[in-house]
Amino acid sequence: MSTTEGPTLIPDSAAAQAMADREAKGRRRRGWFPGLGDKWNALPRHIQWLWLMVVVVIAYLLPILNPPFITTEPGNNWQIALAQMSVYALVAVGLNVVVGYAGLLDLGYVAFFAVGSYTAAMFTSPDSPYLHIPYLWTLPLAMAITMFFGVLLGVPTLRLRGDYLAIVTLGFGEIVRILATIIPAMKGQVGFQNVGHPPGTDANGDPIFLNSNGTPWYWLTLTVIIIVLLLAGNLERSRVGRAWIAIREDEDAAEIMGVPTFKYKVWAFAIGASVGGLSGALFAGQVGFVNNQKFDIATSILFLAAVVLGGTGNKVGAILGGSLVAYIPLRFTSIAEFKYLIFGVALVLIMIFRSAGLLPARQRLLAYGRLAYNKLKEPPMSRRVQVTTDGGKEAGDE
Partner 1 sequence: MSEAVEPEIDVDALKEQGVDLKVAEKVAPERDSPVKVGEPLVQVENLTMKFGGLTALDKVTFDINRGEILGLIGPNGAGKTTCFNAMTGVYKPTSGTVKLEGKALNGLPQHKITRRGLARTFQNIRLFGEMTALENVVVGLDARHRTSVGGALLRLPTHVREEKSAIERGMALLEFVGIADHAQFLSRHLPYGYQRRLEIARALATDPKVLCLDEPAAGFNPAEKEELMALIRTIRDDGYTVLLIEHDMRLVMGVTDRIVVLEFGKKIADAVPKEIRENPKVISAYLGEPEDELA
Partner 2 sequence: MISEAIPSLIHAVPMAVPMDDTWITFDVNSLAENFWSSTFDGLTFGAIYALVALGYTLVYGVLNLINFAHSEVFIVGCYGVFFTLSALNFGPSAPHLPFWAIVGNLLLALVVAVIASALTAVIVERVAYKPLRRRKAPRLAFLITAIGVSFAIQYLIYWWRGPSPEAALTMFRPTPIFDVFGTIVDSQQLVIIIAAVILMVATDQFIRRSKTGRGIRAVAQDPDTATLMGVNKEKIILTTFAIGGLLAGAAALFYVMKIPSGVQYNGGFILGVKAFAAAVLGGIGNVRGALLGGLLIGLIGNYGQVLLGSSQWTDVVAFVVLVLVLVVRPDGILGTSLGKSKA
185 binds, among partner 2, partner 1, none (CB under 5 to 8 A by kind): partner 2
Please state, in angstroms and rounded to a whole number, the distance separating the CA atoms of residues 221 and 39. 29
CB under 5 to 8 A by kind: which of partner 1, partner 2, none does 372 bind?
partner 1
Residue 122 binding result from partner 1, partner 2, none, given CB thresholds of 5 to 8 Å by partner type: none
Using DSSP, state whether 201 is helix, strand or coil: strand
Number of residues located near partner 1, criterion CB under 8 A: 64
Which of the stretches 13-21, 27-35, 67-75, 348-356 binds partner 2 when contact is defined by CB under 8 A?
348-356
Q: Of 49 and 130, which has the nearer Cβ to partner 2?
A: 130
What is the C-alpha separation between 12 and 383, in angstroms, rounded? 8
Among 44, 74, 129, 200, binds partner 2 (CB under 8 A): 129
* Radius of gyration of the chain from its Cα atoms, rounded to whole angstroms: 23
261 binds partner 2 (CB under 8 A): no
**CB-nearer residue toward partner 2: 207 or 344:** 344
Compute the least distance from the CB of residue 240 to partner 1, in Å: 5
The answer to whether 134 contacts partner 2 (rule: CB under 8 A) is: yes
Closest by CA to 393, choosing from 7, 16, 39, 30, is 39
268 contacts 78 by C-beta, under 8 angstroms: no
Q: Does 282 bind partner 1 (CB under 8 A)?
A: no
Q: Is 397 in the site for partner 2 (CB under 8 A)?
A: no
Q: Give me the 223-252 binding string for partner 1, x by CB under 8 A, dash otherwise.
A: --------x--xx-xxxxxxx-xx-xxx-x
Determine, following the binding rule CB under 8 A, whether residue 171 of this chain makes contact with partner 2.
yes
367 binds partner 1 (CB under 8 A): yes
Asked if 10 touches partner 1 (CB under 8 A), the answer is yes
Which residue lies nearer to partner 2 by CB, 78 or 172? 172
Q: In angstroms, rounded to a whole number, what is the distance separating the alpha carbons of residues 74 and 68? A: 11
| C-alpha angle 136-139-145 in degrees, rounded to nearest 5 | 140
The site partner of 28 among partner 1, partner 2, none (C-beta below 5 to 8 Å per kind) is none
CA distance 306 to 92: 6
User: Which distant-in-sequence residues (6+ apart) come within 8 Å of 347 by Cβ?
Assistant: 301, 304, 305, 308, 309
Where does this chain touch partner 1 (CB under 8 A) — which range of 4-12, 39-47, 129-137, 149-157? Answer: 4-12
Name the minimum Å distance from CB 125 to partner 2: 11
Residue type at 63? Answer: P
Of 101, 109, 112, 172, which one interacts with partner 2 (CB under 8 A)?
172
The 3-class secondary structure across 42-103, one letter per residue, is HCCHHHHHHHHHHHHHHHHHHHHHCCCCCCCCCCCCHHHHHHHHHHHHHHHHHHHHHHHHCC
**300-329: contacts with partner 2 (CB under 8 A):** 301, 304-305, 308, 312
Q: Which residues, other chains included, contact 61 with Cβ-Cβ below 8 Å and sequence gap of 6+?
A: none
Partner whose footprint covers residue 179, from partner 2, partner 1, none (CB < 5 to 8 Å by kind): partner 2
Distance of alpha carbon 95 from alpha carbon 304, whole angstroms: 7
Helix (H) or strand (E) holding 375, with range, is: helix 369-377
